[in-house]
Chains A and B, each alone.
Chain A
Amino acid sequence: MRLLKIIAPLILVLLMAGCWGKRETDEIAYVLVMGFDKGPGHFSVISFQIANPKAIAGLSGGGGGKGVGGGDEPLFIENIVAKLPIGAFNLLNVERSREISLLHTTAFIFSEEVARQGVAHYLNPLGRYRETRGTAFVFVCRGKASEFMKKNQPVLEVTPSKQYAMLALTNKIHGLTQVTQFTDFYQGSKSVDVNPTAPLVGISKKEELSKSEIPPHNKLGDYLAGDMPSVEKDPQFIGTAVFRKDRMVGELTGDETRYFNMIIGKLNQSFLIIDDPKKKGQSVGMTLRQARKPEVKVNLAGERPEIELRIYQEPEIAGVTSGINYESPEMKKVLEKALANIIRKRCESLITRTQEEFRSDIFGFGRKAKRKFITLEKWKKYNWDEAFPQARVDIIVHVKIRRTGLMLNTRPTQ
Chain B
Amino acid sequence: MKEILKNIIQLISYRESAGPEDFILEENLFDKKAVESNQGGSGEPPIFAEKEGADSVNEGRDEGSSQSKGRVRSRRRKKGESSGEEPEQQSNGGDQVHGSLEQNRNRIDQIYGLPVNKDLIVRSFTMGTSPPTGGFAIFIDGLADRTTVNLLLQNLMVHTRMYCNNEGSPASYIMKNLLPGSQIRTLDSFKKIADSVNYGDTAFFFQGSAQAIVVETKGWERRAVSRPNVEQTISGPQESFVENLRVNTGLVRKIIRSEKLFTELFQIGARFPSDVAVMYLKDLANPQLVEEVKRRISSITVDYVNDIGILEQFIEDDPYSMNSQTLSTERPDRVAALLAEGKVAILLGGSPFALVVPVTMYSQMHTGEEVYLRWQYGTFLRYIRTISFYLALLLPGSYLAVVLYHQEMVPTELLLFIAGNREKVPFPTLVEMLLMEFSFELVREAGLRIPGIIGSTIGIVGALILGQTAVQANIVSPILVILVAVTGLASFSIPSYSLAFAVRIYRFFYIIMGSVLGFFGISIVLYVQILLTTNLKSFGVPYLSPTGPRTHSGPDIVFRLPIFMHRRRPDYLNPQDDIRMSQNPRGWVEEGNGGEKQG
Known: A26-B423, A159-B413, A161-B413. A18 touches B521 (CB 8 A): yes
Interface readout for B462-482 with A: 1 if CB under 8 Å, 0 if not?
000000000000000000000
Contact A18 B517 (CB under 8 A): yes
Per the bound structure, the CA–CA distance linking A104 and B521 in Å amounts to: 24
> Would you list which residues of chain A between 3 and 22 have a CB under 8 Å from chain B?
14-15, 17-19, 21-22
Stretch with Cβ within 8 A of A (4 or more), from B69-77, B325-333, B378-386, B399-407:
B399-407
Contact A24 B422 (CB under 8 A): yes
Residue of A nearest to B517 (CB): A18
Min C-beta distance of A22 to chain B, whole Å:
5
Q: Which of A38-46, A50-58, A172-180, A187-195 contacts B (4 or more CB under 8 A)?
A: A50-58
Q: Is the CB of B413 within 8 A of A158?
A: yes
Q: Give the complex CA separation of A161 and B412 in angstroms.
A: 7
B517: contacting residue among A15, A58, A104, A133, CB under 8 A: A15
Contact status B413-A25, CB under 8 Å: no
B415 touches A25 (CB 8 A): yes
Residues of chain A within 8 A of B421, CB atoms compared: 53, 57, 59
Asked if B518 is an interface residue, CB under 8 A from chain A, the answer is yes
Q: Please, which residue of chain A has its CB at the minimum distance from the CB of B420?
A: A57
From 177 to 204 in chain B, residues with beta carbon under 8 angstroms from any chain A beta carbon are none
Interface: B324 (CB within 8 A):
no
Q: Please, which residues of chain B bring their CB within 8 A of the CB of A25?
A: 403, 407, 415, 418-419, 422, 429
User: Are the C-beta atoms of B423 and A59 separated by less than 8 Å?
Assistant: yes
Inter-chain CA distance A106–B408, complex, in Å, is 11
Chain B stretch 386-426: residues in CB contact (< 8 A) with chain A: 403-405, 407-408, 412-413, 415-425
Tell yes or no: A32 within 8 A of B by CB.
yes
Interface size counted on chain B using CB atoms at 8 A? 27
The one of A17, A32, A56 in contact with B417, judged by C-beta atoms closer than 8 angstroms, is: A56
> Is residue B428 contacting chain A, with contact meaning CB distance below 8 A?
yes
> When the two chains form the complex, which single residue of A59, A101, A158 contacts B424, counting CB atoms closer than 8 Å?
A59
A15 proximity list for chain B (CB < 8 A): 516-517
Q: Which of B416, B429, B520 is A24 in contact with, Cβ under 8 Å?
A: B429
Q: Does A331 contact B (CB under 8 A)?
A: no
Are B416 and A56 closer than 8 Å at their CB atoms? Answer: yes
Q: 0/1 per residue, B509-542, Cβ < 8 Å to A?
A: 0000001111011001000000000000000000
Other-chain residue from A23, A56, A58, A159 in contact with B404 (beta carbon distance below 8 A): A23
Q: Using a CB-CB cutoff of 8 Å, which residues 125-158 of chain A contact chain B?
A: 131, 133, 158
Instruction: Check B415 against A30 for contact (C-beta < 8 Å).
Output: yes
Tell me, rounded to whole Å, the shortest Cβ–Cβ distance linking A37 to chain B: 24
> In whole Å, how far is A305's beta carbon from the nearest beta carbon of chain B?
42
Contact residues in A for B418 (Cβ distance below 8 Å) = 25
Q: What's the nearest-Cβ distance from chain B to residue A61, in Å? A: 12
Residues of B within 8 A of A57 (CB): 416-417, 419-421, 423
Taking CB atoms, residues of chain B closer than 8 Å to A22 are: 404-405, 515-516, 518
**Cβ B413 vs Cβ A101 within 8 A:** no
**A103: CB under 8 A from chain B?**
yes
* A133 CA to B515 CA, complexed, in Å: 23
By a CB distance below 8 angstroms, the chain B residues around A279 are none
Q: Are B517 and A59 in contact (CB under 8 A)?
A: no
CB of A345 within 8 Å of the partner chain: no
A121 on the B face (CB < 8 A): no
* Residues in A whose Cβ lies below 8 Å from that of B404: 22-24
Most buried by B among A14, A53, A57: A57
Query: Nearest Cβ distance between residue A316 and chain B, in whole angstroms?
Result: 34
Q: Are B422 and A51 in contact (CB under 8 A)?
A: no
Interface size of A by CB at 8 A reads 32
* B-contact 0/1 string along A221-259, CB 8 Å cutoff: 000000000000000000000000000000000000000
Which B residues from 425 to 444 make CB contacts under 8 A with A? 425, 428-429
Q: Determine the distance from Cα of A158 to Cα of B521 in the docked complex, in whole angstroms.
A: 34
Instruction: Flag whether A403 is at the interface (Cβ < 8 A).
Output: no
Rounded to whole angstroms, the CA-CA distance of A17 and B412 in the bound complex is 28
A162 interface hit (Cβ, 8 Å): yes
With A53-B419, A57-B420, A57-B421 as given contacts, are A159 and B516 in contact (CB-CB < 8 Å)? no
Contacts of B422 in A (CB 8 A): 24-26, 53
Q: Name the A residues within 8 Å of B521 (CB-CB).
A: 14, 18
Which A residues are CB-close (under 8 A) to B517? Answer: 14-15, 17-18
Q: Are A104 and B408 within 8 A (Cβ)?
A: yes
Cβ B420 vs Cβ A159 within 8 A: no
B419 touches A159 (CB 8 A): no
Q: Which residues on A sit within 8 Å (CB–CB) of B419? A: 25-26, 28, 30, 53, 57
User: Chain B residues near A133 (CB, 8 Å)?
Assistant: 408
A103 & B407 in contact (Cβ 8 Å cutoff):
yes
A184 to chain B, nearest CB (A): 19
Q: Give, as a whole number of angstroms, the nearest-CB distance from B124 to chain A.
A: 66
Q: How many angstroms between the C-alpha atoms of A53 and B412 in the bound complex?
A: 11
Q: With a CB–CB cut-off of 8 A, which chain A residues contact B424? A: 54, 59
Chain A residues lying within 8 Å of B413, measured Cβ to Cβ, are: 56, 158-159, 161-162
Whether A18 touches B520, Cβ cut-off 8 Å, given contacts A25-B407, A161-B413, is: yes
Separation of A161 and B520 alpha carbons in the complex (Å): 29
Residue-by-residue, is B320-356 near A (CB-CB < 8 Å gives 1, otherwise 0)? 0000000000000000000000000000000000000
Q: How far is the CA of A150 from the CA of B121 in the complex (A)?
A: 97
| CA distance in complex: A53, B419 (Å) | 6
Q: Is the CB of B408 within 8 A of A103?
A: yes
In Å, the complex CA distance between A67 and B489 comes to 37
A68 CB, min distance to chain B CBs, angstroms: 16
Shortest distance between the CB of A13 and any CB in chain B (Å): 11
Write the B5-31 contact mask toward A (1 if CB under 8 angstroms, else 0): 000000000000000000000000000
Once the chains are docked, how many angstroms separate the CA of A104 from the CA of B407? 8
Compute how far the CA of A56 lies from the CA of B411 in the bound complex, rounded to whole angstroms. 14
| Most A Cβ at <10 Å: residue of B420, B517, B524 | B420
Find the A residue at minimum CB distance from B429.
A24
Using known A-B contacts A161-B412, A162-B412, determine if residue A101 contacts B420 with beta carbons closer than 8 Å: no
Q: Which residue of B lies closest to A14 (CB)?
A: B524
Which residues of A have CB within 8 Å of B425? 26
A410, B425: Cα distance in complex, Å? 66
In the complex, the answer to whether A53 meets B518 with C-beta atoms within 8 Å is no
> B405 to A55, Cβ gap below 8 A?
no
Chain A 363-383 near chain B by CB (<8 Å), digits 1 or 0: 000000000000000000000
| Chain B min CB distance to A349 (Å) | 40
Q: Across the interface, which residues of B come within 8 angstroms of A54, CB to CB?
A: 420, 423-424
Q: In whole Å, how far is A237's beta carbon from the nearest beta carbon of chain B?
A: 19
Closest CB-CB distance, B20 to chain A, in whole Å? 45
* B residues in contact with A58, CB < 8 Å: 420
Check B417 against A21 for contact (C-beta < 8 Å). no
Query: Across the interface, which residues of B come within 8 angstroms of A26, CB to CB?
Result: 419, 422-423, 425
In the assembled complex, the Cα of A325 lies from the Cα of B583 at a distance in Å of 65
| CB nearest to B524 among chain A residues | A14
> What's the minimum C-beta distance from B152 to chain A, rounded to whole angstroms?
63
Query: A residues within 8 A CB of B417?
Result: 53, 56-57
Q: Are A32 and B412 in contact (CB under 8 A)?
A: yes
The 8 A CB mask of A100-133 against B (1 = contact, 0 = none) is: 0101101000000000000000000000000101
Closest A residue by C-beta to B479: A57
- Chain A residues lying within 8 Å of B403, measured Cβ to Cβ, are 24-25
Interface set of B (CB-CB < 8 Å, partner A): 403-405, 407-408, 412-413, 415-425, 428-429, 515-518, 520-521, 524
User: What would 15 more interface pairs be, CB under 8 Å, given A51-B416, A59-B421?
Assistant: A18-B517, A18-B520, A23-B404, A25-B419, A25-B429, A26-B423, A53-B419, A55-B420, A56-B413, A56-B416, A56-B420, A57-B419, A59-B423, A104-B408, A158-B413
**Which are the 8 A-B pairs with shortest beta-carbon distances?**
A57-B420, A53-B420, A25-B419, A53-B419, A18-B517, A161-B412, A103-B408, A56-B416
28 A/B residue pairs, CB under 8 Å, sorted by A: A14-B521, A15-B516, A15-B517, A17-B520, A18-B517, A19-B518, A23-B405, A23-B407, A24-B422, A25-B418, A25-B429, A26-B425, A28-B407, A53-B416, A53-B417, A53-B419, A54-B420, A54-B424, A56-B416, A57-B421, A59-B420, A59-B424, A103-B408, A104-B407, A106-B412, A158-B416, A159-B413, A161-B412
